[in-house]
Structure 1
Amino acid sequence: MHTNLRLLLPIVVAIALGLFLSSGGRAAELEVRIGYIQWTPDQGPVLSNVIPEPEDAGLRGAELAIEDNNTTGRFLGQHFTLASVVADSEAQAMAALERQLAQGIALFVLRVPAATLTQMADQAGDGALLFNAGARENALRTQNCRPQLLHTLASYAMLTDGLAQWLNQRRWKRLLMITGPTEADRQWAESFRRASQRFGLELVADKPWTFDADLRRTASRELPLFTQTDNDYHAVVVADVRGDFGEYVPFNTWLPRPVVGTQGMTPEAWHRVVESWGAAQLQNRFRELADRHMNSEDYAAWAAVRSVGTAVTQLNGADAAQIRDFLFSEQFQLAAFKGRKLSYRSWNGQLRQPIPLVHPRGLVGKAPIEGFLHPRTDMDTLGFDEPESQCRINSLSAKDR
């Protein structure tokens, strides 16, 4: 009996020590603080019954990722906290960044417009690491880059490239495009024009939307006339990011044609209908937290905070420069419920990721589409590849930064 006890004693001690450590008995716990700053300018009223964007979009995704980080962190002596600010103006957002920098925070997730984002990156300086979870502008990935700024939100080019690949695969190559009046509409449309050239599509008509009528009363009269063209087309592409008119295009076209783009079948970074590869579990946990569905901005903020958590777990440290270097290394892969391990592009900091193609109640497909090849990874067929971008944010060594 004594012999058995002596053999069991080391096991009992190890278990007790493990329980002690996991219950918070560690003397020095690694504290990881992440700042979250959001400012979304008022877009004004829309001329349709479109469901408004949740005011807490992005923030809830970051909060869920903090919970995920702490699930692992409590066994490793790591504790993650989120310092969140939802600002009412650009000035408030900039002041929040300055305040958090003064508090020693060096890791940030930002959901702000592109112009504000670049100001924040410059104000934060090289000692910080920032994640863009709110601006889709292509210029942030092609020319207006910052070494300390990474992008977890898919760009306009990634979305439209995914859509163009799918249209090419279906042989729906002759298209009518309708572009709304806002700057976001114009940028989305310009991205699709580029994608059309890349993937062999033809815009037989490219019409700007110039009406300001209330389509809730006039859609069945206005849209059939507006979608008449001299040439036949296989599909109608809508560029209406805000939702002023695009919701009324399906079933109101002159020809019986499918509608794709920002309405109809849409390319999204994330959507509630994505359920494969373990995504249903993420969707359920998000609904429990936020009492609504997860959207692309939530997913981008979640991916940013989880990127930090993955790096901290491997490094057992929270230094911003070391985390940045790890995120660009071959050792980093983000498990992100999209059927692929995600990584960051070294030239512009964009998170590589598949793009689901969805309609409001179902998943249609996922880009990159099989058959579109690339010498590195087919995920680099979405968005701006290295030769297409002027950015080389990872060309500097850590010493030079």
Structure 2
Amino acid sequence: MTGPAQAARCDWRSLPIAALLVAVLATPALAQTAAKEPLPVPIGWLKVEQPAPPILSNLAPPPADTGLAGARLGREDNATTGSFMGHDYQLTETLVPEGEDALAAARSALAATPFLLVDAPAQTMIQIADLPEAQGALIFNIARGEDSLRGADCRRNLLHTAPSDSMLTDALMQFIAWRQWSDLVLIEGEHPGDAEFSAALEASATKFGQKIAARKTWAFDADMRRNASAEVPLFTQDFGDYDLLLLSDTLDDFDRYIPFNTWLPRPTGGTEGIVPAAWSPSVEQSGAAQLQSRFIDLNGREMQSADYAAWAAVRAVGEAVTRLNSSDPAALRDFLLSDQFQLAGFKGRPQSFRDWNGQMRQPIPLVSDRAVVALAPIEGFMHQVTELDTLGTDRAESACSAFSD
């Protein structure tokens, strides 16, 4: 458990970049290192495009550079320190069009760099991690939340800066338990991702002593842009009384039409309403406003969760290279999984990787459209090591064996 004295302690891991650079330049050995030939640190970004399922509205389509924009900012941030240290960070970008050979593209990317950020379906990500060319590499999952990737399907060379589904749903259920909202109901979409997120909600409810009393499947094919005010009240009427309506709509198809149209005036949470996320434009504390501003200046839009995960992956590599003055992926992996690594992630607490499944520990903001409602872990949820491990799969619960040797 982290106490006030420990949180207030300042050591070299928690120094801001400017202070670190002063220390670097004041240290003769490191200053001499910085004067040597540049150390190349190539980092790759690879996205496998997927067919977009039809949804009711394309009112807010995801940006075309989702994730990539965060990687670009991470590279810029790494270059700030790297210019003093003699580290040359380069970012290569690979977009695999729908239907083309993702594994061939991954082989080509891995021939240029041992550090690869991947945005791809879970099964494709596993196949990339299993490539012979990837065995000495470090691959970062920057997009997928499936707990199986951190469990039975984990891979030794695959780390995760995207939070798992269970981290997100645990964060939400901590907040619900703290508010003492005990009567919960759920509406779930028909997409496979909706069922997976619903299962995570159910598991988190059980974990924190909650119960989802009733659930319904959204199977409407009518245009809710015109019919929501008539259909949604009838659809939710037989839920009876409840404290919170959970929504599981991972495609952002129907959930936007549920709030303010339910039979009873009740809050919503999950994929709409109170939403757990890796990042949100509403996050402003702990220096986040400065990160948001730099992202907007570079990319002309606001930072999203996938951007944050990509930024965190690139910055994790940069932090490890800075500390070790090495770009050896095996050495960097050992450092990233050690208790020596910490990343200042602008969410109020140092972030690190779990050494049993490669998941980055991180606070989870619970956000509405324009504000942060709370930041999980919620105060009062205790853990023997760090409260961040109350979010997601803990060591004793893990089905991952690839990190045990």
Q: Following superposition of structure 1 onto structure 2, how do residues 340-355 of structure 1 map, counting pairs within 5 Å?
A: 340-355=349-364
For the residue of structure 1 that corresponds to 2:145, the secondary structure is: coil
**1:25 Cα deviation from its structure 2 partner:** 9.3
Q: Does 1:120 align with 2:89?
A: no
Residue identity opposite 2:122 in structure 1 = A
Cα deviation, 1:216-270, whole Å, max 9, x if unaligned, reads 1110111001111254100111001111110010000001101111011100010
* Partner Cα separation in structure 1 for residue 287 and residue 53 of structure 2: 37
Q: Does 1:199 align with 2:180?
A: no
* Partner Cα separation in structure 1 for residue 153 and residue 185 of structure 2: 31
For the residue of structure 2 that corresponds to 1:227, the secondary structure is: helix
Contact 2:114 2:134 in 1 (8 A): no
* Partner Cα separation in structure 2 for residue 25 and residue 53 of structure 1: 40
* Partner Cα separation in structure 1 for residue 335 and residue 399 of structure 2: 23
* Partner Cα separation in structure 1 for residue 59 and residue 330 of structure 2: 42
1:221 is matched with 230
1:8 is matched with none
Q: Following superposition of structure 1 onto structure 2, how do residues 288-303 of structure 1 map, counting pairs within 5 Å?
A: 288-303=297-312
Cα deviation, 1:331-378, whole Å, max 9, x if unaligned, reads 100111010000101111000001000001111001111111111111
**1:39 Cα deviation from its structure 2 partner:** 1.5
- Aligned counterpart for 1:386 among listed residues 347, 372, 395: 395
* Partner Cα separation in structure 2 for residue 96 and residue 314 of structure 1: 31
* Partner Cα separation in structure 2 for residue 240 and residue 183 of structure 1: 10
Cα deviation, 1:93-113, whole Å, max 9, x if unaligned, reads 32221112233x111111111
Change in 2 beyond 3 A, CA 1:202/1:101: closer
Q: Does 1:107 align with 2:124?
A: no
Cα deviation, 1:300-344, whole Å, max 9, x if unaligned, reads 000000000000001101000000000011110011101000010
Count residues in correspondence: 377
1:164 is matched with 173
For the residue of structure 1 that corresponds to 2:85, the secondary structure is: coil
The alignment yields a C-alpha RMSD, in angstroms, of 1.8
Of all paired residues, the percent bearing the same amino acid is 48
Q: Does 1:326 align with 2:370?
A: no
* Partner Cα separation in structure 1 for residue 52 and residue 204 of structure 2: 27
Cα deviation, 1:152-189, whole Å, max 9, x if unaligned, reads 00111110110011001101111110000101111111
Which structure: larger Rg?
Answer: 1
For the residue of structure 1 that corresponds to 2:195, the secondary structure is: helix
Cα deviation, 1:272-292, whole Å, max 9, x if unaligned, reads 000100000000000011111
Q: Which runs of 5+ in 1 are unaligned?
A: 1-14, 397-401
2:38 is matched with 29
TM-score using structure 1 length: 0.91
1:6 is matched with none
**1:45 Cα deviation from its structure 2 partner:** 2.6
**1:381 Cα deviation from its structure 2 partner:** 0.9
1:184 is matched with 193
With 26-35 and 87-96 compared, the bigger mean Cα shift is at 87-96
Change in 2 beyond 3 A, CA 1:25/1:346: closer
* Partner Cα separation in structure 2 for residue 50 and residue 373 of structure 1: 41
Q: Following superposition of structure 1 onto structure 2, how do residues 31-180 of structure 1 map, counting pairs within 5 Å?
A: 31-89=40-98, 91-103=100-112, 105-123=113-131, 124-180=133-189
2:269 is matched with 260
Contact 2:279 2:303 in 1 (8 A): yes
* Partner Cα separation in structure 1 for residue 184 and residue 35 of structure 2: 63
1:9 is matched with none
For the residue of structure 2 that corresponds to 1:102, the secondary structure is: helix
* Partner Cα separation in structure 2 for residue 27 and residue 204 of structure 1: 65
* Partner Cα separation in structure 2 for residue 50 and residue 372 of structure 1: 38
Contact 1:205 1:229 in 2 (8 A): no
With 43-52 and 382-391 compared, the bigger mean Cα shift is at 43-52
Q: Which runs of 5+ in 2 are unaligned?
A: 1-24
Contact 1:48 1:214 in 2 (8 A): no
Contact 1:165 1:368 in 2 (8 A): yes
